[in-house]
Structure 1
Amino acid sequence: MVEFTERPSHLGPDGEPIPLEEHLDDVRERVDWLVSDDAETPEGNSLPELAETVAQAHDFGKLTAWFQEHLLSDGNADPDGPKHHAPISALLAHYALEARGFDGADPLVGFLAVARHHGRLPDSADYVQRAAIEQSGRIRTLYRTEALEQATHVDETVPELARVLVERATDSAGDWETFHERLSREEASIELPWVAEAACSGRRLRPAPEKLPEGFYESVLQVWSALVFADKASAASLTTRMAIGRDAYRSTPPRRQAIDERVTTLQAENAESDLDPRTEQMNERREDARREVGARAAEFVDDERRVATLTLPTGMGKTLTGLDAALTVLENRGRDEPSDEGRLVYALPYTSIIDQVAAESRELFETGERNERVTVDHHLADTLVSPPDDADDPEEVPDDAVDPEEVPDDAVENVASLLGESWRSGLVVTTFVQLFESLAGPTNSRSMKLPALYGSVVVLDEPQALPLEWWPLVDRLVDLLTEEYGASVIAMTATQPKLLTAGDREPFSLVADPDPYYAELDRLDFVLHPSATAMLPAEGGARNADADSESPGLSYDRASELVADRVDDGNSVLTICNTIDSARELATAVTDRTAPLNVNEAYADLLDSADRPTASVRPERTYRDVVRRRRDDEPLLIHLTTRHRPCDRRHLIRVATDLAEAGEPVLFLSTQLVEAGVDVSFDEVIRDFAPMDSLVQAAGRCNRSYDRSRGRVTVWRLEPPAGRETPPSSAVYGRGESLTKLTAQALATVYDGEPMPEPAVTRDAVETYFELLDRRDVGADEYVDYLEHAQAEQLGRLSLIDERPAADVVVTRTAEERETIEALREAHREHRWEDLDDLVESTADWQVSVPVYPGDDDTLEKLQACERLFPDADRLVLDGRPGRDDGYFDATDGVVIPDTSVEARLL
Structure 2
Amino acid sequence: MAPNLSLLESYRARPSQSLRDHLHGVATNAEQLVPADAESAYGDDWQTVMRALAWTHDAGKLTTYFQQYLESGERSHAPRDEHTYHGFVSALLAAHVLYSLDVSAAMRTAGFYAVARHHGVLPTVVAAHEEYAGNGSKVDSQYDAPRAQLQDIKQNAAPAGNALVTAASNGQLEWDGVLVDTPATYQKLLVDPKKLDEQFYETLLRAWSTLVCADKLDAAEIALPEGAQRPELERLRTTVAGLPAGKTPLEQTLNQLRSTAHEESYQQLLTSHREGDRLFQIELPTGFGKTLTGLRAALELAEQRNSRAIYALPYTSILDQVDDVCQEYLDVDPLSDRYTVHHHLADTRTTATESKEGTVVNDGSEALYAETWQAGLVLTTFTQLFESVAGPGNTQAMKIPALQDSVIILDEPQGIALEWWSLVGRLAAFLTREYDTTIIMMTATQPQIFEQAPSLPSPTSLTTVTDECVSFLESNPRVTFNLHDSTAGYLAGDDSSTLSYETAAETLSEMTTDGTTTLAIANTIESAATLTDTVFDHSRPCETTISLGADLEAFHQSSSLNVEDMTDEAAEAYLEFVSDGLATAGDGTVVVTLTTQLRPRDRKLLLAALRRLLDSEISTPFEGWSVMTISTQLIEAGVDVSFDRLYRDFAPVPALVQAAGRCNREFSGSTSPVTVWRLASANDATTVPPSELIYGQRSLLRPARQALASLQAEHGAAIPEAELISTGVKAYYGELHHQRRTSERSDRLVEHFNSAAGEPLRNASLIEDDYATQDVVLLCSTEDRQRYEEYQNLREAGKFSTAKTVFEELKPLVVTLRVDSDAGQSDQLLMRDAREATVEYDTVSGRGIGSSRSE
SS of 1:681's partner is coil
2:773 matches 1:806: yes
Deviates more, 1:363-372 or 1:278-287: 278-287
Q: How does 1:277-296 map to 2 (within 5 A)?
A: 277-296=249-268
> How much does 1:353 deviate?
2.1
After superposition, residues 227-246 of structure 1 pair within 5 angstroms as 227-237=211-221, 244-246=222-224
Aligned to 1:348: 313
Distance 1:683 1:890 in 2: 28
Q: Which SS does the other structure have where 1:639 is aligned?
A: strand
Q: Which moved more, 1:740-749 or 1:98-107?
A: 98-107
State yes or no: 1:727 paired with 2:689.
yes
CA spacing shift, 1:37–1:753, aligned 2, 3 Å: same
C-alpha distance in 1, partners of 2:497/2:709? 21
Deviation digits for residues 116-159 of structure 1, max 9, x if unmatched?
Answer: 1111111223312321223244x6544x2111111112112222
Deviation at 1:256, TM superposition (A): 2.6
Distance 1:831 1:86, change over 3 A: closer
Distance of 1:19 and 1:655 partners within structure 2: 55
- Kindly provide the amino acid, as one letter, of the partner of residue 148 in structure 1: R
- Distance in 2 separating the partners of 1:458 and 1:300: 16
Gaps of 5+ in 1: 13-17, 200-208, 238-243, 391-396, 406-410, 537-543
- Give the 3 Å change call, closer, same or farther, for CA 482–520 of structure 1 in structure 2: same
Does residue 5 (structure 1) correspond to residue 9 (structure 2)? The answer is yes
The C-alpha deviation readout for 1:597-630, integer Å capped at 9, x for no partner, is: 3242564386178353657972123345667858
Is the Cα contact below 8 Å between 1:572 and 1:682 reproduced in 2? yes
Q: Which residue of 1 aligns with 2:243?
A: 266
Match of 1:756 among 708, 716, 719: 719
Question: Which residue of 2 is the match for residue 443 of structure 1?
Answer: 393
Pick aligned residue for 1:875 from 796, 808, 830: 830
Counterparts of 2:119 and 2:641, CA distance in 1: 46
The residue aligned with 1:585 is 530
Is 1:792 aligned to 2:758, yes or no?
yes
- One-letter amino acid of the counterpart of residue 329, structure 1: L
Partner of 1:738, secondary structure, is helix
Secondary structure in structure 1 of the residue aligned to 2:362: helix
Q: Report the alpha carbon displacement of residue 644 of structure 1 after superposing the two structures with TM.
A: 1.4
- 1:535 and 1:741 in contact (8 A); partners too: no
- Contact kept? 1:133, 1:192, Cα under 8 Å: no
In structure 2, what residue type is equivalent to 1:473?
L
3-state DSSP of counterpart to 1:842: helix
Distance (Å, rounded) in 2 between the aligned partners of 1:758 and 1:643:
32
Shift of 1:520: 1.1
Counterpart position of 2:201: 217
Conserved? CA contact 2:302–2:407, under 8 Å: yes
Matched residue type, 1:119: G
Hey, what does 2:133 align to over in structure 1? 132
451 and 821 in structure 1: CA distance in 2 versus 1, 3 angstrom threshold: closer
- CA displacement at 1:278 relative to structure 2: 3.5
Q: Would the alpha carbon gap of residues 379 and 75 (structure 1) be closer, same or farther in structure 2, given more than 3 Å must change?
A: farther
Whether contact under 8 Å (2:406, 2:437) holds in the other structure is yes
- The size of the alignment, in residue pairs, is 821
Indicate the residue corresponding to 2:369 in structure 1: 419
Matching of residue 767 in structure 1 with residue 730 in structure 2: yes
1:665-701 Cα distance to aligned partner (Å, 9 max, x none):
2100111111111111001110000111111111110
Cα 1:192–1:27, aligned 2, differ >3 Å: closer, same or farther? closer
Give 3-state SS (helix, strand or coil) of 1:425's partner: coil
Shift in Å, 1:38 = 3.1
Q: What do residues 812-847 of structure 1 show as CA deviations (whole Å, max 9, x unaligned)?
A: 333433443444455566665555433333121122
Match of 2:104?
103
- Residues 13 and 61 in structure 2, CA contact (< 8 A), matched pair in contact too: yes
How far does the alpha carbon of each residue in 1:27-79 deviate from its partner, in whole angstroms, 9 at most, with x for none?
Answer: 22221111122322343121221111121211111110000011112456543
Q: Secondary structure at the match of 2:243?
A: helix
- Write out aligned runs for 1:8-27 (5 A): 8-12=12-16, 18-27=17-26
Q: Is the 8 A contact 1:606 1:622 kept in 2?
A: no
Paired position in structure 2 for 1:206: none
SS of the residue corresponding to residue 304 of structure 1 reads: coil
Distance (whole Å) between structure 2 residues aligned to residue 605 and residue 245 of structure 1: 44
1:431 maps to: 381
Deviations 1:362-410 (Å, cap 9, x if unpaired)? Answer: 23211223211100111122222235559xxxxxx6xxx3x626xxxxx
Q: Deviations over 1:164-217 (max 9, x none)?
A: 22222222222222222xx524xx65x654134x21xxxxxxxxx341134222
Matched, 1:320 2:292: yes
Q: What is the aligned partner in structure 2 of residue 241 from structure 1?
A: none
Q: How does 1:198-217 map to 2 (within 5 A)?
A: 198-199=191-192, 209-217=193-201
Equivalent residues of 1:362, 1:368 under 8 A apart: yes
Residue 533 in 1 paired to residue 532 in 2?
Answer: no
Q: Structure 1 pair 722/785, CA: closer, same or farther in 2 (3 Å)?
A: closer
- Contact 2:487-2:650 within 8 A present in 1 as well: yes
The equivalent of 2:324 in structure 1 is: 359
The amino acid of 1:734's aligned partner reads G
Q: Deviations over 1:229-276 (max 9, x none)?
A: 111122222xxxxxx444x25212223322222224432xx77xxx55
1:138-177 mapped onto 2 (5 Å cutoff): 141-142=141-142, 144-177=143-176
Worse-matched range after superposition: 276-285 or 368-377:
276-285
Tell me how far 1:886 sits from its aligned partner: 4.5
Residue 452 of structure 1: how far off its partner (Å) = 0.5
Once structures 1 and 2 are overlaid, which stretch shifts more, 807-816 or 364-373?
A: 807-816
Is 1:848 equivalent to 2:815 in the alignment?
A: yes
| Aligned twin of 1:489 | 439
Residues 8 and 389 (structure 1 numbering): CA distance in 2 closer, same or farther, change over 3 Å?
closer
1:446 CA displacement: 0.8
- Offset of residue 526 of structure 1: 0.5
Alignment check: 8 A CA contact 1:470 1:780 kept: no
The answer to whether 1:303 aligns with 2:275 is yes
Secondary structure of the structure 2 residue equivalent to 1:105: helix
1:695/1:424 CA distance change after superposition, 3 Å = same
- Structure 1 residues 235 and 379: alpha-carbon distance in aligned structure 2, compared to 1, 3 A threshold: same
Whole-angstrom distance in 1 between the partners of 2:549 and 2:749: 48
SS in 1 for 2:681: coil
Match of 2:348 in 1: 383
Q: Name the amino acid aligned to 1:768.
A: A
Q: Matched residue of 2:777: which SS?
A: strand
CA 608–386 in structure 1, closer or farther in 2 if over 3 Å, else same: closer
Cα 1:22–1:793 change in 2 (3 A) is: same
| Aligned-partner residue type, residue 560 of structure 1 | A
Q: Match of 2:400, SS?
A: helix
Question: Partner letter of residue 728 of structure 1?
Answer: P
Query: Which residue of the other structure, out of 627, 631, 635, is the alignment partner of 1:666?
Result: 627
Contact 2:92 2:186 in 1 (8 A): no
| 2:404 maps to amino acid | Y
Alignment pair present for 1:476 and 2:410: no
2:591 pairs with 1:643: no
TM-score normalized with structure 1 length = 0.85
Q: Give the Cα–Cα distance (whole angstroms) in 1 for the partners of residues 732 and 725 of structure 2.
A: 10
Q: How does 1:537-548 map to 2 (within 5 A)?
A: 544-546=492-494, 548=495
Q: Which residue is equivalent to 1:516?
A: 468
1:50-89 pair list within 5 angstroms = 50-74=49-73, 78-80=77-79, 82-89=83-90
The answer as to whether partners of 1:349 and 1:432 remain within 8 angstroms in 2 is yes
**What's the C-alpha RMSD, in Å, of the aligned pairs?**
2.7
Q: 3-state SS of the aligned residue for 2:84?
A: coil
Question: Are 1:374 and 2:346 an aligned pair?
Answer: no
For structure 2, the residue ranges without an aligned partner over 5 or more in a row are: 617-623
